[in-house]
Amino acid sequence: MSDTLLPAGPPDRAGLRAPVDLSHKLRPGEAVIKAVLLTCAVLSVAITIGIVVTLIRPVIDFFDWPGMAAGDDGKRVAFGDFFATEGTYAVLPLIVGTLMVTVIALLVAVPLGLGAAAYLSEYASPRARKWLKPTVELLAGVPSVVYGFFALKFVTPTLLQDILALEVGFTNSLAAGLVLGVMVIPTIASLSEDAMSAVPHSMRQGSLAMGANRMQTTLRVVFPAALSGIAAAVVLGMSRAVGETMIVALAAGAQKRFDVDPFSGHQAMTGYIAQTFGGENPVGSTPYNMAFAVAMTLFVMTLILNIVSMIFVRRFRNVY
């Protein structure tokens, strides 16, 4: 290969040194640095493995596997008791609580997030966008414990009970869901704006040339074209809502309930974990292990949502 790359100079190379082939030069320092950097990158995979390993051990101690001895405090829980609708060790009320809050949050966040994204991508001038986008993203910077306090001390007593005169409890899923929705708006707005901005201009110009106005272009051309990107944003927003802790721990309450009444309090999965670790539960006790089993369920749920979101993103990249 290197012989064919030497047309320059006299054919007999008179007076010229042979070119140095650097392609296989050993550079020990370089290799060490590369190895160090690779180690740092691989650490991210180690974190994931670490999460799974961390969660598995107490989960094994928690369940009543066939043919295994009793746990540290002589108690193991049957699968039937875990996947039950009521009881001390039932996870289904927690899942219902999480889903309730998540659905209310998405009802708030999806229309508002998409509206903000549509304005930023289709209507705003570049100058306006430069200011409006960070303003929307400011909402994501507010700590969730502050949102939780706001839901508990303003949304429930002042907004829901006094102004709207609803019969809501001191802690309720409605307030938690509404505030959680506000928190998720920037996630959905930012990602859908990326997806909508990626729609080629020729498609908009085609629509406008046919006599459509900006609303028709946005709704009938840009939205469908960006749909898989928007779907990815919504799924990722859902994953954020499912995993959020402080708002549901403060505002959604600590009652395990298996119903879908938004006016009453429900305990969510993250709220249960926070409550268990905030209280006095010794390492290895059944409630302690149950918290890990709930965390495992939560981790698997968010993992599935993230994978679904990534599949949507990949599809939307393939279109153009």
Partner 1 sequence: MSAASATAASVTNLVTSGRSKDRNVGSLVFLGLLWFSLFFGVLVLVALIVDTAIKGAPRFDAELLTNYSSLFKPEETGFKAGIVGSIWLMICTAILAVPLGISAALYLEEFADTNRWWNRLIEVNLQNLAAVPSIVYGLLALAVMAVIGFDDEGVVLGGAIALALLILPVIIITTRESVRAVPQDIRQGSLALGATVWQTTWRQTLPSAIPGIATGTILGLSRAIGEAAPLIVVGFGVNVLFTPELGPEGLTSSGTSLPNQIYNLSSQSREEFVTAASAAIIVLLVMILGMNALAIIIRNKFQRSW
Site for partner 1, residues 180 to 239, rule: CB under 8 A: 182, 185-186, 204-205, 207-208, 211-219, 236, 239
* Using rule CB under 8 A, residue 250 touches partner 1: yes
Site for partner 1, residues 31 to 90, rule: CB under 8 A: 33-34, 36-38, 40-45, 47-48, 50-51, 53-55
Say if residues 240 and 187 touch (Cβ distance below 8 Å): yes
Sequence letter at residue 31: A
Tokens of 101: 């809050």
Q: Return the number of the residue (32 or 78) whose C-beta is nearest partner 1.
A: 32
Please, what is the minimum distance in Å from the beta carbon of residue 189 to partner 1? Answer: 8
User: How far apart are alpha carbons 275 and 297 in whole angstroms?
Assistant: 17
Q: Return the number of the residue (67 or 278) whose C-beta is nearest partner 1.
A: 278
Tokens of 50: 């670490």
Other beta carbons within 10 Å of 289: 27
For the purposes of burial, counting CB atoms within 10 Å of the CB of 27, is it exposed (0-12), middle (13-18) or buried (19 or more)? exposed
Please, what is the minimum distance in Å from the beta carbon of residue 78 to partner 1? Answer: 24
Tokens of 146: 């502050």
User: How far apart are alpha carbons 313 and 244 in whole angstroms?
Assistant: 23
What is the size of the binding site for partner 1 (CB under 8 A)?
A: 93
Span from 1-9, 63-71, 83-91, 141-149 in contact with partner 1 (CB under 8 A): 141-149
Backbone angles phi, psi at 169, to 5 degrees: -75, 175
Among 6, 68, 138, 164, binds partner 1 (CB under 8 A): 138
Q: Return the number of the residue (34 or 75) whose C-beta is nearest partner 1.
A: 34
Site for partner 1, residues 272 to 311, rule: CB under 8 A: 273-274, 277-278, 292, 295, 298-299, 302-303, 305-307, 309-310
